Amino acid sequence: MSSFEARGQHLRSEAKAHVLAFLASTPRAQPSREGVKQAEIFKACGFDWGNYPKASSSNQQYRVVALLRELETEGRVEQIVESGPRRLR
């Protein structure tokens, strides 16, 4: 693994920890609560770089989708309904 790949892995781990900390601090994201929408997670965690040509804010959210899917695979987050909000498990 190159140093760039290792650094990328570290950044992904940090981003997951950041999202989990945000969800833990948000009452609506607690288990059995209504959950938080992906766009809110994306913006509240500071992942939005703003709108740029061919890189709109909504397109940038795809990175958070992958992050949330990985947290779901790990059993730490759940999506309440398809295309719906997420909460801690």
- Residue 14's CATH number: 1.10.10
Measuring CA to CA, which residue among 60, 67, 52, 66 is closest to residue 13?
67
Instruction: Print the domain residue range for 11.
Output: 3-88
Whole-number average pLDDT of the chain: 95
Number of domains in the chain: 1
Statement: residue 85 has pLDDT above 90: yes
Whole-number pLDDT of residue 8: 96
| pLDDT per residue as tens digits for the range 41-52 | 999 999 999 999
pLDDT for 56 equals: 93
pLDDT tens-place string over residues 25-41: 999 999 999 999 999 99
In three state form, how does the secondary structure of 20-59 look? HHHHHCCHHHCCCCCCECHHHHHHHCCCCCCCECCECHHH
More confident residue, 60 or 1: 60
